Structure 1
Amino acid sequence: MEAIARSVPVGVVGAGTMGAGIAQVAAVAGHEVRVYDAADGAAAAAVETIFAHLARAVDKGRLLQEEAEDAATRLRAVGTLEDLAGCGLVVEAVVEDLEVKRALFAGLEAVCGPDAVLATNTSSLSVDAVAESLAAPARVAGLHFFNPAPLLPLVEVVSGARTDDGVADLLVATAAAWGKTPVRAASTPGFIVNRVARPYYGEAFRLLEAGSVDAATVDALLRESGGFRMGPFELADLIGHDVNLAVSRSVWEAFGRDPRFTPSVLQERLVADGRLGRKTGGGIYGGDDAPRPAPSTAEPVASGPTAWASSGGFDPSTPGWRAGNGDVELRLTDGRTAAQHTGGGPSTVVLVDLALDRAAVRLGIAAPEHAPKEHVEAAIGFLQGLGHAVTVLPDTPGLVVARTVATLAAAAADAVDSGVATAEDVDTAMRLGVNYPRGPYEWGSALGWQWVAGVLDALAAAEDPGRYRVSPQLRRRALEAGGRRDDPDVAGYDDLARRASEAMWAADAASQALGMTVEQVSLGTAMVRMRVRPDMVNGHGVCHGGLIFALADSAFAVACNTHNRRTVAQGGDITFLAPAHEGDDLLAVANERYRSGRTGVCDVTVYRDGATIAEFRGRSREIPGTLVPDEEET
């Protein structure tokens, strides 16, 4: 598909900062550009502003003098919507109000030719909703530029359900001809960037609200360890908390108030108090003249004489390494706390936060709350000796950078799985649209989806199961990526899981006596069914809770034994949410909390006709022996 010819006029409706920027881009690309705004004088003022911006671009060497002069001759303000007749493309950049946009597009449809493409620069509204009342919605698409439009390369080309494929192709080609990098997106809440970027702000505010880490330290870690251009609080102050919060609320509402996108109460308070960031002289931080607080940094510690040994090579940018001196062991965080890793000893496990690369300027670490001071200082001294500034963090799940990157990677995977965009376009959008050091989908692939799922599992267990839930597609990715011997084809392992479970079940007379049947088995998962018989109910006609526990425990046992390793239960907890009665068909679904290998921790949900009636968490440990011969190892 070819781009719109340079001889075809382009219309821009809306003479604000974004509209003026889009008009400048189109004029520099060689089009006659007509700028319209309903406010008297606004279009003329915008054109004058563009002239000034063109002159500045010449001064900075971005444009030649003759290029700027030619672009200026192609720009003109028009006084009525009818003056846009004859434009082959009209881009709308008015206020983010659905009814205003609908009325505008109805007017454009009336004055523009049938072959004209109508594009909206909306950042959060549905393209389908904007085009809903038009006679020809197929010619409407999103053309979402990022501010400042003349400088930022990214453009999201957004297709609604009724957008013609040829229209989207034309806009992709045109954006590329204008010197931009287009990515394709489906018209879903937030498109790519505003959807995938939510955790970058959300996790930072969550840490601040909990009192876990101060704002300056969060920003420093994500800059100096994570490699992000700006920390989330710095960036929100720059964007404006009112704008940032509006996007968060829009995405949250559009997703039915999904807890993954819940806006920050603290940010709502900032907006209510008028502390919007730089434009009001203060937000998270004070105004431009106010001194910026320093991040938390450990004082220098002399390295002791003890030798440190490493397994896998010390590299805080990737899972799988360990370093220790006998008393202290360093590990990359996997979402669990240092106290969970340390357990009963004998050595103290000190967790290291994720870093962009092994040469990161700053590293965050966390130790168990009551770890010996000399153990913490030994870890600090070792890392300082390697040239890192060290920030000692509270022992919180996922620390700072790891939880941020894991939730960003999960959001990217969810966008890909939902058909919003390809993985390549998601990564391109996040690198170019918000200057991420690496695409979040690429980051998830590099770190391992099992690591991503493990961090989310730990956060779900410690903080909020709804916010940090692992989607079925991400869970499957984790299982495939983390299969034994890194084999991406787990079909053979699922067959082994089935054979192991059959061997275990054949010896489980108690579960069979209760009428339970194994419905489905795969590596780390199991489904077990039971119908409530008359002899299973009490005097109130309700199924005995112990029998529901037994059903959940049986599913838990099957899931734990799918690795063909004998296991025994260490503990189990159940919460009853609703009763079951005679004749009810109950289904227990067990999923192992998966990291880079077996965990022995399973979540089990018991359903009745699709409704949850009980939730169970079981913990097991491995004992010697296998259930069936493992053909993969013979």
Structure 2
Amino acid sequence: MTALNTSARVAVIGAGAMGAGIAQVAAQAGHPVLLLDNRPGAAAQAIEGIGRQLGKRVDSGKLSVDARNATLANLQAVEAIEALADCDLIIEAIVENLEVKRTLFRQLEGICGEHCILASNTSSLSITSIAAQLERPQRLLGLHFFNPAPVMALVEIVSGLASDPALAECLYDTAKAWGKKPVHTRSTPGFIVNRVARPFYAESLRMLQEGAADCPTLDALMREAGGFAMGAFELTDLIGHDVNYAVTCSVFDAYYQDTRFLPSLIQKELVDGGRLGRKSGHGFYSYAEGAVRPQPAEINSAASVNVCIAEGNLGAAQALLSRLSEQGVEVIQRDGQGLLRVGDAVLALSDGRMACQRAKEDGLRNLILLDLAFDYSKAQRIAISYAAGIDPQALDQGVALLQRAGFKVSLLSDSPALAVLRTVAMLANEAADALLQGVASAADIDLAMRAGVNYPQGPLAWADAIGLAHVLKVLENLQAGYGEERYRPSLLLRRRVAEGRTFHD
């Protein structure tokens, strides 16, 4: 089945920010669109709001007057559900309440023709459950847009137990024709994005709770080393802690309290205290007028270093050597276990063990552990930790070497896998379980995380680049260090390592 023809009539129920955004997307693609809301006048007001937004784009030269007028001409506010009788696609974007949605779709089923596709924009409820009481549950699917719908590229096409695969393909092709990046997913809790993304928030929250570093430092590391658009604390302040915490609790409960999705007591306290982020004026950061954002912590050295020794392959951090060479540091290479020596200091990419543990077990004095960077040749910042008892001069030499390479250096307490590495390993682990369980394909999982939450790379492709054996080692060491099921490696990850394959083979 191909995409719906632009002559197909589309209806959107719910004229809030999400519903209005979806209506705008469909109208811009050329469809006649009906917008319905149970609040009198709300649909007409939403269309007026769309007009104002499009007018701003015209004023900035990003949209032609003709395109704005054509979009607005395609939009019509209606006040009664009976007006949707001859629609070809109806998209529901109302309150996240199972019974309310079920009631709506049962009502629609009695009004609309059998050819009409019914779709829910739910972000968390089961499509199977919503459809269960319909006479024709096969025609209900999830069509999950991300906010703001006109801007965000991703659309999750969600199939429930009874959903017609042909209709899923139709919605996939239609979303593509609308300029979106669609992905297929089964109706499991969180679908792709809201499930796989949980560790991004959870690991930063855990490091904060353990005193590894403060919010601005951890956020800066996610941006300037990890390549993410925002750190976890900035992002949850933007989303709203009430919303983000509720999603975490929903996923946690849906997976029968699996500790991998355990909510954070720190975030709960913010919600309980009404510190919901930007919308309340205070979250992890203050948004009051004149508030000054605290700066990330850095450690500096005045030592002079001009030569270092690379023993063996540094794994994912190998590109660091080229960066050092470009800055005039002489890099002497010899065989070894993947270590970088400068003066009395020994530097190594973290393998998930604490620095004190690795120093003792591997017999390494003056050990400094390096965090992961998305691109060591371009990253602006790097996190380090060190083993207790390190010679201050050796620490100075290690920091000086990283500064010579052009990094800002942030010191974390001796935490397993530091910041970026543990977060990426856990994202990849969750994505691996989603792949193992048939939630979506590897390509769609990676696309969803890039297009839905702007990750610099899909977590499965990122794990492939790091090396699956190293990711597995990191997770095994995290699990051993904490003694918790939270960090258990995915069966699929173990299998791919044993087979010598990647996630994309």
Q: TM-score range with shorter-chain normalisation?
A: over 0.9
The answer to whether structure 1 residue 335 and structure 2 residue 352 are counterparts is yes
Q: Rg: which structure is higher?
A: 1
- Give SS of 1:467's match: helix
Find the partner of 1:421 among 429, 440, 453. Answer: 440
> Would you say 1:115 and 2:115 are equivalent positions?
yes
Q: For 2:374, give the aligned amino acid.
A: L
For 1:20, the aligned partner's letter is A
- Alpha-carbon distance in 1 for matches of 2:298, 2:315: 21
Deviation, structure 1 residue 58: 2.0
8 Å Cα contact 2:199-2:423 kept in structure 1: yes
Q: For residue 71 of structure 1, report the CA deviation from its aligned partner.
A: 1.1
Q: Structure 1's 479 and 276: CA in aligned 2 closer, same or farther, altered over 3 A?
A: same
Partner residue of 1:576? none
- Local SS of the residue matching 1:142: strand
Residue identity opposite 2:151 in structure 1: L
How far apart are 1:102 and its partner, in Å? 0.6
Q: Does 1:477 align with 2:478?
A: no
- Decide whether the 8 Å contact of 1:12 with 1:35 is kept in 2: yes
User: For residue 63 of structure 1, what is the amino acid of its counterpart?
Assistant: L
Distance 2:436 2:219 in 1: 30
Q: Which runs of 5+ in 2 are unaligned?
A: 321-336
Structure 2 residue 358 is the aligned partner of structure 1 residue 357: no
Q: Secondary structure at the match of 1:168?
A: helix
8 A contact 1:24–1:50 mirrored in 2? yes
Q: Does 1:399 align with 2:418?
A: yes
Query: Which of the pair has the greater relative contact order for Cα pairs under 8 Å at 6+ separation?
Result: 2
In the other structure, the counterpart of 1:298 is 299
Q: Counterpart of 1:364 in 2: which secondary structure?
A: strand
Tell me which of 323, 339, 348 is aligned to 2:340.
323
Structure 2 counterpart SS, 1:343:
helix
Which structure is higher in helix share?
A: 2
Q: TM-score, normalised by structure 1?
A: 0.74
> Structure 1: which amino acid aligns with 2:487?
Y
Mapped contact 1:314–1:322 kept (Cα < 8 A) = no
Match for 1:451 among 458, 467, 470? 470
Tell me the secondary structure at the aligned position of residue 486 of structure 2: coil
> Matched residues in 1 for 2:306 and 2:27: separation?
67
Partner amino acid for 2:292? P
1:388 aligns with 2:407: yes
- How big is the shift at 1:256? 0.6
Structure 2 length-normalised TM: 0.93
| Separation in structure 2 between the aligned mates of residue 286 and residue 305 of structure 1, nearest angstrom | 43
Cα deviation 1:260-311 (Å, max 9, x = unaligned): 0011111011011110000000100111541111111012322246644453
1:410 corresponding residue in structure 2: 429
Which residue of structure 2 lines up, in the alignment, with residue 211 of structure 1? 211
Deviations 1:521-545 (A, max 9, x none): xxxxxxxxxxxxxxxxxxxxxxxxx
- Contact 2:124–2:191 under 8 Å retained in 1: yes
What is the CA-CA distance between 1:53 and the residue it aligns to? Answer: 1.6
Letter in 2 for 1:436: Y
Note if 1:347 corresponds to 2:365: yes
Question: How much has 1:452 moved relative to structure 2?
Answer: 1.4
Q: Deviations over 1:607-629 (max 9, x none)?
A: xxxxxxxxxxxxxxxxxxxxxxx
Name the CA distance, whole Å, in 2 between partners of 1:203 and 1:93.
31
Mapping 1:140-159, distance limit 5 Å: 140-159=140-159
Q: How does 1:187-586 map to 2 (within 5 A)?
A: 187-287=187-287, 289=289, 290-304=291-305, 307-312=308-313, 316=317, 321-325=338-342, 327-343=344-360, 345=363, 347-359=365-377, 360-481=379-500
Q: Aligned to 1:365, what secondary structure does the other structure show?
A: strand
3-state SS in 1 of match to 2:287: coil
- 1:460·1:467 contact (CA, 8 Å) conserved in 2? yes
Q: Mean alpha-carbon deviation: is it higher for 195-204 or for 34-43?
A: 34-43
Q: Tell me, what secondary structure is at the counterpart of 2:253?
A: helix
In the TM superposition, residue 318 of structure 1 has moved relative to its aligned partner by: 7.6
CA–CA distance in 2 between the matches of 1:464 and 1:244?
Answer: 27
Question: What is the one-letter code of the residue matched to 1:150?
Answer: P
Change (3 A) 1:73 1:388: same
Would the alpha carbon gap of residues 87 and 198 (structure 1) be closer, same or farther in structure 2, given more than 3 Å must change? Answer: same
| Percent of aligned pairs sharing the same letter | 49
Query: Which region of structure 1 is more displaced relative to structure 2, 319-328 or 356-365?
Result: 319-328
- Range 260-269 or range 300-309, more displaced: 300-309
Pair 171,134 (structure 1): closer, same or farther in 2 beyond 3 Å:
same
Check conservation: 2:433, 2:491, Cα contact below 8 A.
no
Residue 125 (structure 1) aligns with? 125
User: 5+ unaligned residues in a row in structure 1: which ranges?
Assistant: 490-634
Secondary structure of the corresponding residue to residue 347 of structure 1: coil
Residue deviations 1:51-80 (CA, integer Å, cap 9, x gap): 112212222333221011011111111111
1:27 is matched with 27
Q: What is the aligned residue count? A: 485
Q: Which residue type is aligned with residue 175 of structure 1?
A: A
Q: How far 1:87 moved relative to its partner?
A: 0.5
